Structure 1
Amino acid sequence: MSSDLILRFWRRADGAVSIYMIVSTAAMLLLTSLLIDFARIAAFERQAELAGQSGIRSSLSAYDDRLYERYGLFGTGGSDRGELFAHAVQHNWTAEEADSFRLLDMKSEASHVDSYEVLGNHAVFKRQVLEETKYKAPIDFTLEIASKFAPIAGAMKEVSTSVKLLGEVQKLYEERERRLDEVLALQKKAAAAVSERIPSLLGATASSIVDGYGDYLRWQSEDAVLEEGEEPAHRDKIRAYSERAVNGADSIADSASQALSSHREHEQRAQAALREAKQLNASIQAAAERYVTTEGSGNYDRISQMEIAGSESASIDLNEIGQTRGAVSELVLDDSWFDNYASALSEQTRAIQQVNDRAIAFRASVRSALGGQGSSSTSLKLTLQSLQNAYQVYEDSYGPSGTVIQSREEERVKRQANDRERKANEAAASSKLGEVKRLIEQMKSAPNQEENRKAFRQVKQHLEANLQFNQAAQPEDETGDPLRGQSGETVLNSMSAVGTIFGGMADLLEDIRDPLYINEYIAHRFQAFDPKQFKQFAGGGGQQAALSDALSLENQEVEYILYGIHDPVSNIAAAYGELFALRLAVRTMEGFIECRALGHPLLVLSAAVVYGIEKAMADMATISQKGTIALSKYAPAELSYLDYLRLFLILHGNSDGRIARIIAVIEQNTDTVLSQVSTGLTGELTASVNLWFLPGLMRSFALTGILNGKVKGNRYETTRTIGWSYG
């Protein structure tokens, strides 16, 4: 066909509208079909999303009843989760009659459920615990604990500071007094060395020289007038006297010289000890000035400055406690006192120097007299008298009853007048504290515990498995020895522990609550030891045998979670020790008020400690009878044994080890491994819908990424993944 015919064909007017309509209608049908399938796919994907959500919620509806009822924890259990998911998905799509029109012909191609969170994971476990306790913990803890401790916060602050100061000062004071005792001992030792030798020489030896000198002169005179050829009659006597006189004078001079040398050595050591004592004295003064106002007591202030519902004011005059701390300045010696003492030491050496000088002069006088250089008996007597006078001056001042030494001794006794009573108190405190320590050791030897040890070995296996699952380190026991050291150190440690407890309570009240919620969960959900069983430990073997049931793991879960010792008795012993230590701190506070009239700050401290130990021992007897103890005579609110355990949970803080022990106890009691209990699930659903038009075109759209799914035959298929958890 020529080009002209073709051109004429397209230019013809008849039938043009029909062709246009056909082309336009085809395009509209194509677009409409495309839009319809797009709309159906969008509706299908929304339905698939809703079906997946419904399925995953249905899967989580099968939870472990035992975990929830006993521990308030949600974890999957019961029916198969995959079946629940598939069943919920299938029934989420409304069934239609076979002969009815179906807009969406949806099918579930495949589905499965996976776990993405487990209860054995520490972060997941803590999250559930916090959800469980966040509404009840503030009420319980604030009203039952913080309100009871708030009235004594100010007094505990004062006593804690006083104990810290006096403990520091006591060490400095005792060391200073040891140095000053050393100075006085060196003085006495130097004087004793003089008294042992010189008096005898100045007595018989020196007197025999002076008294025999007249005979010596007479013998010389008689021998000088002998006739020629006559033998001297007194030659041997003269020689013997000369030798005795020279040797005697030399002995006196040598003894004085040795005494002087010894004095100089002793003075050097005494001056060094005195300087050390002065430095220690300055440290006492610095400590007293540093503690003029209470420091390091923020935890107590945080509680005392809060308005806590239910708290009452205590009838305690804080100035009465502060007076003892202020009296520390009375223990400080003036710098001039040390300067005068240093001069006195030098004066003692100068006094023996005078004796030495006179001894040398006496020896020179003896030799001069024997040499016939004009000395006379009177000269010998005068030099001896001068020597004896110098020694007598020394002896009167520094001898056994010398005025200087006696004055120093009296001053020392006066300065240390309260030390004997203080040390008697410290000995009594150590003795009583030893009784408590022996009882705790006796507790650890309770018989018939093999069955209980078996349970502890089992829970240890759960613990180690959970720590390994969480890649956490194996923890050490959560407690040291609360009664370690001497009585003063024990009280100081107890006061420090109470300060930590007050800080934990303040944290709770200031919304730093997560760790405390966990502690409250422990107190509410787990069993604590019956404190009335404490009295059985002090009994005989028959009574101790009856403790076997009481010491089972199920009866001391709180103590095990707190301390983490895998032994039936050690956790209870640790709780007993810490309870005694806390009672000791509170009672020592009372002791400071009761004993303040003693005046001397270190004596007040020692008496307060004895008071505290005695009252704390009585408190332990009370709690073994009643199960509760009044907090203080100044704040009589009753606290139970469990209340104190809650305080110890604050004291030791939270750790991976504590969380793992909680999980281990739950696993022990439920025979459930929490690392296999899901708390979060992911459900994957693959579904399809039929395509009405142009599946080939839809396949092209899927391949280019316009559609999220894929086309198989005449069906569009998509996969949805839905995640959900208990929270």
Structure 2
Amino acid sequence: MKTWLKKGFHKFVINENGAVSIYAIIMTLLLFVFNAVLIDYIRIMTAERNVDQAAKAAARSTMANFNQKLTSDYGLFGFDGDVGEANAIFEQVFRENLAPSQEDGIFNFAYPSYVSGSANVTFKENMNLASPDTAEYQILEDMKYKAPLEIGESVIEGFLSITKEVQEASEYAEVAEDVQEEVEKRDERLEKVEENLESAYTLLSTLDEKVYGEATSPFPQVNNLNELYNHLDKYQEIRKAENREEDEEDEDESPTDEELDDADDYERNILSFLEGVLEDIEALEQFLSSASNELKEAYEHNQAADTLLNEGSDKSGDYGDAQRAGDELREGSPSVDGGNASEGIANAKEELQNLVLPEEFFESVQEPLDQATDSLEASGDNFTKRVQELILIVEQKSMIKRPKSKDIVNEGIKNVKESFNVTVQYFNDAYRAFSEKPEVESERSDEEVEAEKEEADESMETANQELDDLLKEAEQFLNDAEKYNELKLLVNEYVSFAEGANETRQLERDSKEKMSESSRGMIDALFNAVGEGLLGARDKLYVNEYILLKFNSHDFSKSGAARFGIENNEVEYIMYGLDSSAANFGAAISELFAFRFIINFVEAFTDPTVRGFGPYMWVAALGYALKQTISDMNAFENSKPVNFFKDSRFAPSYKDYLRLFLFIHVSGNKMPRMMARIHQNTNSELLEMPTYIEGEAETSVDLWFLPNLMEFIGNSNVLNGEIQDGSFRIRKKAVYSY
């Protein structure tokens, strides 16, 4: 055995005979292994490419089953079926795209075989068609070429061409309204000042009679100071006789009982008279104090008006973006020229200054009025104190007990008169200064201004009546409650994908002032939104255009139920989301009224008649705007064109105005309402309509050579797959979205 091993070792290791053949055999074996591995590797790589193409084709074919009506009517794509249908389509197309069948007689070099039951399709739920982001993406894709054609450039340009004037008018209206409010409050206070001064004047006349009235009444009556003094001799005579009777018991010279009663009455009458004077003084002091306080309040309101004119109002909206867009348009040839309006508004602002009274007027009244009030106090040489001193003289019997008692009374009366004269002098100074209150300069008389206010109020009533009549007509033809109930339920399904509530804005119609303020609020928001949309948010503009293009807005040429049904008011419903076509149309009409009112308010300042009202231009402009807006609304009602601005050829339609209003309603439930209406029109459940799928399937390729070696290579991550039962498994995933 040992010998045999030595011979073998010598022959195959040491002996060089046959070494080349052995080396060739080894190298050929290695080359065969390499080629075998390379062939299977090429087959696997080829199969992977085929599987990848088949998976992509299957995904595309699956998503080709989209809802045809949804696409044709609204340009939206969503898979029309459930997961089972998607799996069936994906599996069929995937299988057919893998390779020709063996029955075709084609040599199968690298065609993989489908692993039965491995196909699986999943939908991405947060990317169904009801997702706002997904829907908006598809809308933008659909509209990025259509929207520029649909957007009326003349509408936007015409609208923005007067941005400056609308902003100035809005600011002027805010200031004028606030100034008017302060001026009205000031004048109310001044009226109360006047009322108190007149009451004080009347009371002073009464006191003057009591202080300086002629002595015409017989003893013991006392109606004024002169009677008090003139009856003093008679009174003292009776009291002296009474005293002598007590001392001498001389009945012949003793006063009668009637004379004694008169003396007692005289004392009581004096006290009653003087107490009455004190009551008058107290009432006078009340009138003067009230006048002083009211005058101070009037001064505060006057100063507030002056501050508003100097500093402006902080209520006006943000016109920054709209102003920049408008300035860009002004560099070209704007379709609307509002230059005259700008000049008129500037004049109106200057005229408002005439409503402010000079500070010197208030000072000229306040100072003597306060002095008159101080002169009534119960101290020093003041009126009340002097009357109280006179009462004390009477109460202490100084008129009969002290020497020169008549001189004492005369001195007290003199002091009362002097203090009264001081009060009268101060009061007369205040009264005279108040009567010289500056009048507001205006080309129009007070009567004309009042007539203009009354006419504006009548126009306001007419506008309210016409709007109410239109809404009542709409309510008479409501027959789509069932559709609105259905929409309400559908919106609730879609609302989870959006935030906010309906976007209605109420137009205050209680008074022309409230309506003006409400209108300005809407238009301020509109300009802000339009400027933002044109300069930095084109996507919103495209979505708005999509709504106008795909949905119907109110057609005034129709009548009856056809006019006020949901089919004729889809855009209005999407914007406002109210529970009837009448309510949605009413909201649109309110915004249209508000918009036309503001434009006409701007236009008013180009009218010479309005300018003639000077500081009351605000009132005249309101009246002008109301009357013109009523005329505009009647024109819309009769499908007649309405010039955007005075003497311009630019006449946007009702739909053009909706294009502008959509800028205000940029968020909230607008998208869910649009989804609900699409759902209702196409009977398509958008919540269950996928736009994104992931499909995967598995195939196998039989290995021809050395499967164990290929498995080793697969474990080293060189190949994307695994070896099972002598075959290479390939799993591929394909993603597709609209």
Where on the TM-score scale, by shorter chain, does this alignment land: which range?
Answer: 0.7 to 0.9
**Distance in structure 1 (CA, Å) of the matches to 2:244 and 2:139:** 126
5+ residue gaps, structure 1: 534-545
Residue 94 of structure 2, aligned match among 66, 86, 89 = 89
Alpha carbons of structure 1 residues 126 and 310: separation in structure 2 relative to 1, 3 Å: farther
Alpha carbons of structure 1 residues 222 and 287: separation in structure 2 relative to 1, 3 Å: closer
What per-residue deviation string (whole Å, max 9, x for no partner) do you get for residues 618-643 of structure 1? 11101111253211214341111111
**Distance in structure 1 (CA, Å) of the matches to 2:458 and 2:288:** 40
Aligned 1:570-649 pairs, distance under 5 A: 570-594=583-607, 595-601=609-615, 603-649=616-662
Alpha carbons of structure 1 residues 253 and 299: separation in structure 2 relative to 1, 3 Å: farther
Alpha carbons of structure 1 residues 141 and 341: separation in structure 2 relative to 1, 3 Å: farther
SS across alignment from 1:373: coil
Match of 1:675 in 2: 687
**Distance in structure 1 (CA, Å) of the matches to 2:569 and 2:333:** 31
Residue 130 of structure 2, aligned match among 120, 130, 154 = 120
Q: Is the 8 A contact 2:175 2:313 kept in 1?
A: no
When normalised by structure 1's length, the TM-score is 0.87
Alpha carbons of structure 1 residues 7 and 691: separation in structure 2 relative to 1, 3 Å: closer
Match of 1:230 in 2: 251
When normalised by structure 2's length, the TM-score is 0.86
- Which segment drifts farther, 152-161 or 358-367? 358-367
5+ residue gaps, structure 2: none
Please state if 1:209 is matched with 2:228.
yes
Alpha carbons of structure 1 residues 270 and 217: separation in structure 2 relative to 1, 3 Å: closer
**Distance in structure 1 (CA, Å) of the matches to 2:734 and 2:97:** 15
Alpha carbons of structure 1 residues 217 and 553: separation in structure 2 relative to 1, 3 Å: closer
Q: Is the 8 A contact 2:171 2:313 kept in 1?
A: no
Residue 437 of structure 1, aligned match among 439, 452, 464 = 464
SS across alignment from 1:686: strand
- Give the Å deviation of 1:709: 1.6
SS across alignment from 2:130: coil
Residue 303 of structure 1, aligned match among 325, 333, 339 = 325
Q: Is the 8 A contact 1:151 1:635 kept in 2?
A: no
- Which segment drifts farther, 235-244 or 173-182? 235-244
Residue 437 of structure 2, aligned match among 388, 411, 416 = 411
- Give the Å deviation of 1:295: 9.1
Task: Count how many residue pairs are aligned between Structure 1 and Structure 2.
Answer: 705
What per-residue deviation string (whole Å, max 9, x for no partner) do you get for residues 195-246 of structure 1? 5677358645234433333444555787899997434342545534443443
**Distance in structure 1 (CA, Å) of the matches to 2:108 and 2:635:** 80
Q: Is the 8 A contact 1:220 1:238 kept in 2?
A: no
Q: Is the 8 A contact 1:105 1:690 kept in 2?
A: no
Match of 1:187 in 2: 197
What per-residue deviation string (whole Å, max 9, x for no partner) do you get for residues 406-438 of structure 1? 652562876999777656544543443344334
What per-residue deviation string (whole Å, max 9, x for no partner) do you get for residues 603-624 of structure 1? 2111111111111111110111
**Distance in structure 2 (CA, Å) of the matches to 1:156 and 1:396:** 54
- Which segment drifts farther, 623-632 or 589-598? 589-598
Residue 400 of structure 2, aligned match among 357, 366, 370 = 370
What per-residue deviation string (whole Å, max 9, x for no partner) do you get for residues 268-311 of structure 1? 44444333333333222221111399995424422321137773
What per-residue deviation string (whole Å, max 9, x for no partner) do you get for residues 491-511 of structure 1? 123223223323333234324
Amino acid at match of 2:193: V
SS across alignment from 1:185: helix
Match of 1:539 in 2: none
Residue 684 of structure 1, aligned match among 687, 696, 716 = 696
Match of 2:63 in 1: 60
**Distance in structure 2 (CA, Å) of the matches to 1:358 and 1:413:** 40
**Distance in structure 2 (CA, Å) of the matches to 1:698 and 1:406:** 118
Match of 1:102 in 2: 108
**Distance in structure 2 (CA, Å) of the matches to 1:518 and 1:228:** 120
- Which segment drifts farther, 494-503 or 432-441? 432-441
**Distance in structure 2 (CA, Å) of the matches to 1:653 and 1:5:** 99
**Distance in structure 1 (CA, Å) of the matches to 2:63 and 2:322:** 47
What per-residue deviation string (whole Å, max 9, x for no partner) do you get for residues 561-599 of structure 1? 010011131111111111111111111112233255345
**Distance in structure 1 (CA, Å) of the matches to 2:672 and 2:283:** 70
**Distance in structure 1 (CA, Å) of the matches to 2:244 and 2:180:** 81
Alpha carbons of structure 1 residues 310 and 133: separation in structure 2 relative to 1, 3 Å: farther
Please state if 1:286 is matched with 2:294.
no
Residue 326 of structure 1, aligned match among 345, 350, 353 = 350
Amino acid at match of 2:708: G
Q: Percent identity?
A: 23
Question: RMSD across aligned C-alpha pairs, in angstroms?
Answer: 3.5
Alpha carbons of structure 1 residues 213 and 558: separation in structure 2 relative to 1, 3 Å: same
Alpha carbons of structure 1 residues 222 and 186: separation in structure 2 relative to 1, 3 Å: closer
Amino acid at match of 1:253: L
- Give the Å deviation of 1:556: 0.7
Alpha carbons of structure 1 residues 56 and 511: separation in structure 2 relative to 1, 3 Å: same
Amino acid at match of 1:326: E
Alpha carbons of structure 1 residues 148 and 512: separation in structure 2 relative to 1, 3 Å: same
- Which segment drifts farther, 515-524 or 18-27? 18-27
- Give the Å deviation of 1:706: 3.6
**Distance in structure 2 (CA, Å) of the matches to 1:139 and 1:241:** 108
**Distance in structure 2 (CA, Å) of the matches to 1:495 and 1:448:** 31
Amino acid at match of 2:591: E
Alpha carbons of structure 1 residues 414 and 448: separation in structure 2 relative to 1, 3 Å: closer
SS across alignment from 1:682: strand
Alpha carbons of structure 1 residues 498 and 228: separation in structure 2 relative to 1, 3 Å: closer
Amino acid at match of 1:458: E
Amino acid at match of 1:587: N
Please state if 1:24 is matched with 2:27.
yes
Match of 1:456 in 2: 484
Q: Is the 8 A contact 1:172 1:283 kept in 2?
A: yes
Residue 316 of structure 1, aligned match among 339, 358, 361 = 339
**Distance in structure 2 (CA, Å) of the matches to 1:97 and 1:565:** 65
What per-residue deviation string (whole Å, max 9, x for no partner) do you get for residues 141-186 of structure 1? 3514212213322221221110011122122222222333333333
Aligned 1:473-492 pairs, distance under 5 A: 475-492=500-517
Alpha carbons of structure 1 residues 316 and 187: separation in structure 2 relative to 1, 3 Å: same
